[in-house]
A and B are shown apart, each in its own frame.
Chain A
């Protein structure tokens, strides 16, 4: 029998764990968050797999990314190089956010259901942790820690990927397509980060609704959170011939992006701005303004709804195992 792990993680003076030990509330919250990553390993494994796959692609792909040398000359135009560089960053980020979207959604609908399914709820409740702290930790992990962690990992992957490509270009293994451009890099990452912050705030009520469903529904949470809204939309259409519910769902999913202000065009109709505008990506970035998204009152009202759902989830969990 080995006891080395538990013993080696004893507090070391001056370490983070020693600091935490003197802050009971923080230590509890930190422990609750770690617990989520122990149970739901897909939260950290899925983005890591994306990183590994992308880095392998950066090392191995050759044929797929090879551009005919006659074209390359044209692509090596500085503005086009910036465009390719920025688009590559966006492209590298997409798989991260897709995977995160799946992982977080499945996590949120499962987080308060799993403990009832495996009957471990009474073990968790035998410890001095309030229902409020439990729900808060789960929401915090799903809505903030995982998105920010994914952003950081995507950023790191982006840097590594670009470094590998540049090294390969320097060694003559590939064309110099993804040349480094600091300004484009900073602008792209800033815009991505602001987009992420807007997403976190805007989707908080949806996330909290999923957590509420996970504590409320007795079984088949996934079915409930998909079928019930769908039936509500269909029923409203048939009975009242209106579409308030589907409009609301539509708005809470994509509405905020229409608040982003692009000079000369709305973000929603960016494709109409014209190819000439898009290819000049640095100029396009300068014309995007995110402030209107933050001044959208619905963004902040949504947070009140999120808080109400979280409160309701904690309140329901209080007596949830009570048949």
Chain B
């Protein structure tokens, strides 16, 4: 679905993307995860044809730089929860999307809205932030797109709305013919959702893997301080102290090698993210 090779982008003296390469297959939910300023939004903008970028880039077989108009028939995105115009009425929003998008299913959008307290005649400015997100989601998820791109979609929303957002995404929208690419700061919140992760750091891809692949490649070991030296001999790429014990993360080590030293588990995506970001 997405094929990116050697993407480069600079804003004045800052390198937002330096040689970024990744692939997104169909039927996947991919988390593009990185700290602020790592280049996540720039990468998404490149995929959506919203920014000029160097390198090879194909999205659904099209080049977003020269074929953006055709691409947007199959790609939906929510860039930010606050971008619906304040003056727009809910019924006008439905009317507009139905008027410009051949793949918009108005009945489906109405079905989403029926589950909310949103009134048809309300203007966006009269809705709460959570309601605006619900409306935006109802509009976007009623479009039969092949790729959905979400950039920090739940920023500023309370826990209830965030949970609801991802539930709808997973249960009502996602299927094997579609892919979702999502960026977020709140890794914990989406880690059960993802099938793949891409970590991005200083404009470079720090890790690209399926979630199953992570379990095969990475192991987290918790050891007592007495065993720490023996464990360090096996070259963990990250360690930290928790309640007097030491937590280490290893790449490419087998359970058989590490099991005698302490407790083993698969690191969570959040733990792995912190480890990868803090590792040199």
Contacts and interface: CB of A to CB of B under 8 A. Distances in A.
Do the two chains belong together in a single complex?
A: yes
Interface of A: 1-7, 9-10, 24, 27-28, 30-32, 34-35, 38-39, 114-115, 118-123, 125-130, 318-319, 321-323
A38 B97 CA distance: 14
B160 to A, nearest CB: 19
A6 B112 CA distance: 13
Contacts of B70: 128
A297 B53 CA distance: 43
A185 to B, nearest CB: 39
Contacts of A39: 85, 87-88
B83 A5 contact: no
Interface string B48-92: 101110000000000000001110110011111011111111011
Contact of A31 (B72, B95, B106): B95
B85 A322 contact: no
B190 interface: no
The 3 residue pairs across chains A and B that have the minimum distance between CB atoms: A31-B99, A120-B85, A122-B79
B83 A319 contact: no
Main secondary structure of the interface of B (DSSP, over half): mixed
A29 to B, nearest CB: 9
12 contacts: A1-B114, A3-B114, A5-B91, A5-B121, A6-B120, A34-B99, A38-B92, A39-B85, A39-B87, A129-B72, A321-B50, A322-B51
Nearest to B90: A6
Interface in B233-260: none
Contacts of A7: 110
B27 to A, nearest CB: 22
Contacts of B2: none
Contacts, number: 108
A32 B99 CA distance: 8
Interface residues of B, number: 46
Contacts of A5: 91, 120-121
Main secondary structure of the interface of A (DSSP, over half): helix
Given A3-B110, A126-B77, 12 more contacts: A1-B119, A1-B120, A2-B120, A9-B95, A31-B95, A39-B88, A114-B85, A118-B86, A128-B73, A129-B69, A322-B50, A322-B51
B72 A127 contact: yes
Contacts of B99: 27-28, 30-31, 34
A31 B83 contact: no
B72 A128 contact: yes
Interface of B: 11, 45, 48, 50-52, 68-70, 72-73, 76-80, 82-89, 91-92, 94-97, 99-102, 106, 110, 113-114, 116-121, 136, 140
Contact of A28 (B52, B84, B92, B100): B100
A123 B84 contact: yes
Q: Which of B50, B94, B110, B113 is packed against the most chain A CB atoms within 10 Å?
A: B50
A141 to B, nearest CB: 15
B15 to A, nearest CB: 15
B97 A127 contact: yes
Contacts of A130: 69
Given A1-B118, A5-B121, A6-B106, A31 B100 contact: yes
Contacts of B87: 38-39
B84 A120 contact: yes
Contacts of B113: 1, 3
A319 to B, nearest CB: 6
Contacts of B52: 319, 322
B101 A128 contact: yes
Nearest to B115: A1
A6 B83 contact: no
Nearest to B11: A323
Contacts of B48: 125-126
Contacts of A34: 95-96, 99
A24 B101 CA distance: 9
Nearest to B70: A128
A6 B95 contact: yes
Contacts of B140: 126
Contacts of A1: 113-114, 116-120
B88 A38 contact: yes
Given A2-B121, A3-B110, A130-B69, A322 B45 contact: yes
Nearest to B73: A128
Contact of B94 (A6, A119, A126): A6
Contacts of B84: 120, 123
A23 to B, nearest CB: 11
B198 to A, nearest CB: 22
B93 to A, nearest CB: 9
Contacts of B91: 5-6, 9
Nearest to B78: A126
A323 B68 CA distance: 19
